[in-house]
Structure 1
Amino acid sequence: MFNYFPSIKSSDLVEGFVSPEEFLYQIKSGEDYANKVLEAREIYKSNKENYTLFKQTNLPCYSLNFTFNKIRSNDTINEASGYIYLDIDNNLEIELGNPLIFASWVSLSGHGRGVLVKVNGLNKANFSYTYNEISRELSIHSDNGARKATQVNVLSYDPDLYLNNTSNTFLAISKKDQYSTKKTKKTIGTVMGSEFHNLRFDNLDELIENIEFDGEVIYDFKQKIKYADAYIPFGGYQEGYRNNGLCGYAYQVRALNPKVNFKTLYNLLKIVNQEQCHPPLHNFKIRKIVESVMEIKNFAPIMNKTRRFVYNKDYQLNVSQRKSEMMRLINAGRTENSKIKIENAIYDWDFETMGKITQKGIRSITGLNLKTIKKYYPLYKSDIKLLNDNYAKNS
């Protein structure tokens, strides 16, 4: 159900409820309000300020994301409507054939579109993330100003309203799950005992095995190094992407574990299918995928990720500690780069053109911040004095 309100100006208190079917019928038929919508579009063409005032006071509006307990606010959300509303400004040409789109109509101004998508698991915490993810899936630039759980949509009129009753349902991801499938990797062993305990889901061990950490917590390659990772994208695999997604995942797991047997890979893929495919495929299709992957003779891991830093396994670091160590090395690298730039500027100084060496002169050559130059200037002060004195004697 959707809540409705007399107007934007009077949208604090819930007026009542309408079904999605009633809401869409009102847009398509224009019953009661078509003339006012057409009037709003004429006003929009000539005076945007008058249009805004008309829009806020003359037409009813609806909350399409959540229903509310009497008062429309984040604190009074009652439940999700089962849909999410996306607002698109100044663009009428979107791909209506996308299987995620349940309904779409021309907006009140006549220059944009409203889009409804079916969603499971939507809540206040994951609303913004879900709004952005669906926008990305639809390849649209949705209005960030409408990215609010409490957003209301002013009634429009579109006799050509698009409706797809068999559209896909997007699975909203809770905030704690908003990371790539390290979740699957970490929990898979506990789901079915020790069967997956020895499986590799990346080949970072190959990067680390020849590194001499010398007691250090972290190692910096100084550049991004490619490695292979069996991962699942945010939100798992939606309908239309499940088969290819699971094939790629199964191939990568087998390539990282050349001795994996059919039973283990099949059991792993069944779990991934149930947890990450929306909706899951039938098990006979999972079996076909595993059979085809196991028949591949020449296979090698796909180097699909990059990493600059690796961590010493002798230390048990949490995420915060890892980030801290990484930033320490990055900042140390910046320090070295700054020093090298200053040194090059000093020892390659063109006295004929620049005159004596100064901090401002170093800044003009290196492009470094003056505070950075002042910080390291004392390290080179004696050399600079010597070079400047020599220049003064010979000039």
Structure 2
Amino acid sequence: MFKIFTNLFTKNSTKTIEKIQQVVDYIKDSSRPEVKEIKKLRALQKGTPEFNSIKKQLPLILWNFTTDGKRRIKNIIQSTGYIYYDIDNNLDFQFNKNYFTAYWKSVSSTGYGCLVKVSGVNKNNFKEAFTDIAGQLNIPFDYKAGDMVRANILSYDPNVYYNPNAHTFDCTCYSSVDNADVKKNHHSISKDILFNSYIWNGENTPIRYDNLQEKIAEKDRVYDENGVCDLKDGKLYYSSVVIPKTIKEGQRNHILSNIAIKIIALNPELQDNRLFGFISKINSSCCIVPMKNDEIQTICSTVLGKRSEFIPYNNAARRFLFDPQKQFQKGEKQKLAITYLNKCRGEEKKQLISHAFSDLLSECRKFKIKDILEETKVSPTTINKYLPIILIEEYRNEIEGIQQFFNAKKQIQKLVTVPA
């Protein structure tokens, strides 16, 4: 059951589509009233005011979970039986058609939307299932799309692919604990002698817990005057092993197997006895009720028997890279990252206000700051901070034309009194 919303501003669903076949038919239906607008949008530059204005008016769908009609986690009823992935700005992705129930061109026609069929997904294990399945299928997904109740635009694609017999991913084995909780409850491997004491191959080479440095070396990067490379939307994705400090009895087999797979993927030449010793140490140190040795042996034997099948998959991301020559301490990196994030958020809000102001002007009717607030949903303080700057930067020479529509004397006065 899929919940449909008229547009971005609709708080409650206005329609329900029962079956995936019906949704697929809807995506390829050229008689839909909004298809004309989608075609118009595709002819525009992505991110422009007109593009965004059209996008906001298109119908949305909740792919991952059905709700009681609202788009909130607390209103979730159950999984739809599918997980949705965005593949942005990539038309070259090769889909393994045995594993995808459907895929279609995105609303901007610069990427894809796609669905995989799942069973056993719930609110607690969704994030883990989302990330692991993406890794197995090598999907270069948008992390933002991993929101359980994220609504996506119902695109139009007459050539949408649909395979009702695609593979179903069984997710009952995934942890009943949210990944966020696991990450709060994990060892700092870089400081943990317990795990760093494990070396392998007789050459004093430590086990790899991630391939971050390898990925950094492959990435084109330019550091600014502060020694920071802000990748923004082009984040660096890499594979990382997370070891919980405590593992509950019902989660032991899954978590230890998952760790063993990731360790082998990152260390393909790891000796069998080293893997057994490593997983045994985690078992005895982290499991509230440790598993028996023969159970650990079974886990390791199963993983080692398939070692050639495992490759590192991305389950972690970095937006900021730091110049190694600067030798920043951890606290310094955190402060710099916060500074850059705050600056970026400010620019995003400024852009949002600018687009809303432009949209309101285009309607050729009188409007006030309260109308901008309604459009943007940002705080009055943020409006007051950025609107004068926008007026000065973008509308300095159009003040007379603006005054007949925009009735905000203080902002107009600031614009007029600033020297040219």
TM range (shorter): 0.3 to 0.5
Bigger radius of gyration among the two: 1
